[in-house]
Structure 1
Amino acid sequence: MGNSLQEQLLKAGLVNVQKVKQTRTDKRKQVKQSGGQPTPEEQAARAAADRERAAKIERDRELNRQRQEEAARRAAENEIRQLIHTHRVVRDKGDLAYNFTDGSTLKRLYVNAEQHASLVAGRLAIVRQDTFYELVSAEIAERIQARNAALVLVFNRATDSNAADDPYAAYQVPDDLMW
């Protein structure tokens, strides 16, 4: 198998040694006369190989970019998850139901009176962590909102621009009003 076609023809007796040598010298002379230039077929094959190599490099580059984006997205999600987990407010013995919406569904979270007042005042916020809802402070809610605003579900902030335009600003909402 390792023998070239010339050696196989020589062993079979179809050509003689002189003919093999003559063919080799003719081939060398032909390459030397053409100045080492490849034939048009060889040029086309090289050009096709170069195009394929460039396309593969571009595909690899795109795949690496997608992998890096996916890794960065996962790192950001883990960072948010860790931020919520370390700064969540404990909701033990919650007896007041605080209703809020998550998309188009109405959800209920049981909190104590102090946490309820803080939620209404904007000192606490409700955020979604996977399938659970957690209470976090306003500063943490702002940090989470900067990274992914869809995770902050309830964050009551007093805005000065709305207060100036609000025709009902002079009327106070009763403390015992819950929905």
Structure 2
Amino acid sequence: MNEKQIREQTMAKSLAEQLMQAGVVNQKQAKKASKKSKKNRELKREVQAAVQQTQQQNVQKSDQQNEKIRLEAQQKAITAQIKQLIEVNAIESKGDLEHNFNFEGKVKTLRVSSQQKQQLANGFIAIAHLGEKFYMLPAAVAEKIEQRGEGYIVLLNDKIEEDEDDPYKDYPIPDDLMW
């Protein structure tokens, strides 16, 4: 027993003794009252344990909600960074040639110059989408975007370094070859 319990018992006994001496209660009623106080203490302990458990559950819930909010904010920040990277580094795609590419099972077309078409084929330029629009970007920027989030880069070919010794480099490859 700890000191507090001993004090409670002595106070209860002394109170019970005082009440018996005063003739207010008899010995049977005093015992019954002491039993009630034990029940009250047990009930108090149970209530305290339930309160602590509820508090722990509330803390866990709030921690989970805070983590969820933090992850959502982090995802929003990444999305904003990707949007900014695309909009700032977009290459103007005005040209007289059409470049066709696959996007979600559909063939999309982007107007490009002949130099841009060659750079797309060689992997120096990539195509990204943001909403319903398509943008051409430098390959380095496209790689940064891919690191931050998937699904934005539509086309990024592997880089092909131009071979200076290639005897056919001055001859363009026609797009409309039939095999």
Matches within 5 A, 1:98-177: 98-158=99-159, 175-177=173-175
Q: Structure 2: how far apart are the matches of 1:136 and 1:159?
A: 17
Correspondence for 1:50 among 42, 49, 52: 52
| AA at the equivalent of 2:76 | R
Shift, 1:103, TM fit: 2.1
Q: Structure 2: how far apart are the matches of 1:83 and 1:38?
A: 67
Whether the 8 Å CA contact 2:124–2:159 is kept in 1: the answer is no
Whether the 8 Å CA contact 2:127–2:136 is kept in 1: the answer is yes
- Report SS of the residue matched to 2:151: helix
Aligned residues: CA RMSD: 2.9
Whether the 8 Å CA contact 2:122–2:160 is kept in 1: the answer is no
Q: TM-score, normalised by structure 2?
A: 0.68
| AA at the equivalent of 2:101 | F
| Deviation per residue, 1:43-91 (Å, 9 max, x gap) | 1111111111100000000000000000000000000100111111012
Shift, 1:178, TM fit: 4.9
Shift, 1:107, TM fit: 1.1
| Deviation per residue, 1:88-111 (Å, 9 max, x gap) | 10123x221111111222211111
Q: Structure 2: how far apart are the matches of 1:54 and 1:38?
A: 24
Q: TM-score, normalised by structure 1?
A: 0.68
Whether the 8 Å CA contact 2:125–2:156 is kept in 1: the answer is yes
Q: How many residue pairs were aligned?
A: 139
Q: For residues 152 and 85 of structure 1, do their structure 2 counterparts lie closer, same or farther at Cα, with a shift above 3 Å needed?
A: same
Q: Structure 2: how far apart are the matches of 1:123 and 1:38?
A: 79
Quote the residue 1:71 is aligned against.
73
Quote the residue 1:87 is aligned against.
89
Identity score, percent: 23
Q: For residues 158 and 115 of structure 1, do their structure 2 counterparts lie closer, same or farther at Cα, with a shift above 3 Å needed?
A: closer
Aligned structure 1 segments of 4 or more residues deviating by more than 4 angstroms: 171-174
Q: For residues 146 and 178 of structure 1, do their structure 2 counterparts lie closer, same or farther at Cα, with a shift above 3 Å needed?
A: farther
- Report SS of the residue matched to 2:158: coil
Shift, 1:159, TM fit: 7.3
Q: Structure 1: how far apart are the matches of 2:176 and 2:136?
A: 19
| AA at the equivalent of 1:83 | L
